[in-house]
Structure 1
């Protein structure tokens, strides 16, 4: 029986800009069967200055993006080094880092995750595996989502894996192929309106629950062109900025009503997709949206024959960091870590850059 063990750090910054997720994990593979353990893990919130810069980055020109990338790499190196010192981590095989997406326009073969520079290895003194999306986009794929290979290898007990973060994305098996795609915006929009009330997010969906649905706005949201497209497909903040928020802002409704309407819209789109795939089964939900009890309650009502599973806190919060750790290990092993059935690329491939200190 051949067994391999990897001691790695997974690092992820999502589109909802909650902060940088860091998860110290052990990944083991025995006879091609993978298992994991999440050890120390935490989310390091962004300082206000960085929240502003990351939100504005979608409007930056090329020179400003270069400066941002350099500055973010230095900042990220500090966050990683502090985490390692704080938790007395030793003998790491690698740091597997997603970086932070500021541009994602796969039709133009453009995607940019800042913080994926050789400088990161030099500043941390560790092997860095990063830049997992760019190769796929250059090949003609969507460059997203990348998590489904981890769903296949680590969470095969579930019929569907649903992540509720800045955007919702789903992953499932279909006749031997892993299928995955973004369904809708989630926290990118909900947090936008919670921020207007001086809150980082709508805790448990309580504000949304207190509001009422705006029927014409709900109809307009459900009528967006994105929902008519077939997969593979993916979303970026540009879509929220250009298509979703302008629609939301056309309504004079109050923030509780907008939050209620958008939450209902999300639940409807999620339920529609899941019922189309399979009307009954076992659904794993992770990401920050798993804590939005109002959204989860609506989804359960719309999916009476689906067993909705909310896992332990570490898996909810750090599943993406865990899976980017896995993507990095697969890169180390020179094994497939991006699935063509998911991204639309011409073939499965092994993506990512390895930087030595």
Structure 2
């Protein structure tokens, strides 16, 4: 079986829309080839709309849900024309997360898949998380199915995005969970200093670690809870940002970087992992990678740029293919839902 799919991913760190056109082939196992991929930066207006979506009224949020869906469709259409792509079986869209409160049985990723379908004329799979949350799961992380089917040669796969998350095999099952905030906080602190992000971790390297703050962060109850578990922007607004209000931004960057590295290294050490595939934008933060490496004996494997940047979009493309074939694309061992299932709305 051969499938050609486009995966769309917009992360919580708002660094743009990842578009990944992939050829999948299934024989005895799944294999993939990334044919074309690019990140489309958001306009200043759209960036601000998405960043502040959590503060919108219901009517404004519904308007953005529709508008962002049409934006996704138009952007994919341009991508297809630009690269003269002829054969696309489906588009799989993660959408952009605004709310994520699985304990209250809801999560919201905006970007109406029906609008993408109308713009492109191609079948669309979207809203991958809601079904899992309704089934008692965290709705996250979802990428473990891709780690299991495409990257099983590694002890674990660790993503450094808005949040860090990991997936690994434990007692014969693929488990996964969020570890700690990363770029969702680091980018905000860098912006306070007039930078879009902390390139290579240079700003953090020049700050001083606030030991009292570091201790308080490491004591947060989330880190002592068993998995499965997941984080959202609301958690940061409640637990992280208030603690940073009276801290120098450079020192806050240094402390959050140390905090993230500590929590990540703890997970690596506690699970006795020998080699870990690192992906996501945070992989380019040399200071953060150094901090993690200094705290663990494990081998950190950093793949080619295409995998670093587009692994999540790649896996959502696979999830869309699995959904169209009514195959399992969400693992209950990773999310905590009642059972494995095939999730996503098909437009």
* Counterpart-to-counterpart distance in 1, 2:113 and 2:319: 17
Residue 328 in 1 paired to residue 335 in 2? Answer: no
CA distance in 2 between partners of 1:174 and 1:262 (Å): 29
Superposed, 1:1-357 pairs within 5 Å as 4-31=1-28, 33-249=29-245, 251-252=246-247, 254-278=248-272, 280-304=273-297, 306-355=298-347
Q: Residues 186-223 of structure 1, C-alpha deviation per residue, up to 9 Å, x if partnerless?
A: 00000001111221110000110111111111111111
In structure 2, what is the Cα distance between the partners aligned to 1:345 and 1:161? 21
Residues 93 and 113 in structure 2, CA contact (< 8 A), matched pair in contact too: no
Q: How many residues align?
A: 347
| Conserved? CA contact 2:164–2:182, under 8 Å | yes
Deviation string for 1:70-113 (max 9, x for gaps)?
Answer: 11111111111111111111110111111111111101111111
For the residue of structure 2 that corresponds to 1:207, the secondary structure is helix
For residues 334 and 165 of structure 1, the distance between their equivalents in structure 2, rounded to whole angstroms, comes to 29
- TM-score computed with the length of structure 1 as normaliser: 0.96
* Superposed structure 1 runs of 4+ greater than 6 Å apart: none
Whole-Å separation in 1 of the counterparts to 2:60 and 2:113: 16
Query: What CA distance in whole angstroms lies between the structure 1 residues aligned with 2:157 and 2:112?
Result: 27
Question: Could you tell me whether the CA contact under 8 Å between 2:68 and 2:112 is conserved in 1?
Answer: no
Q: Residue 18 of structure 1: CA displacement? A: 0.4
Q: Deviations over 1:307-333 (max 9, x none)?
A: 110000000000000000000011111
The CA deviation string for residues 118-173 of structure 1, in whole angstroms up to 9 with x for no partner, is 12201111111111111111111110000001000000010011000000000000
Alignment deviations for residues 39-69 of structure 1 (CA, whole Å, 9 cap, x no partner):
2111101111111111111122322211110
**CA–CA distance in structure 2, aligned partners of residues 222 and 203 of structure 1:** 25
What is the root-mean-square deviation of aligned Cα atoms in Å? 0.9
Distance of 1:117 and 1:210 partners within structure 2? 44
- Counterpart CA distance in 2 for 1:198 and 1:22 is 28
Contact 2:113 2:125 in 1 (8 A): no
Once the two structures are TM-superposed, the CA of residue 116 in structure 1 deviates from its matched residue by 3.1
For structure 1, the 5+ residue unaligned runs are none
- Contact 1:97 1:116 survives alignment (8 Å): no
CA distance in 2, matches of 1:247, 1:112: 27
User: 97-106 vs 312-321, which deviates more?
Assistant: 97-106
| Cα separation, 2, equivalents of 1:117 and 1:298 | 40
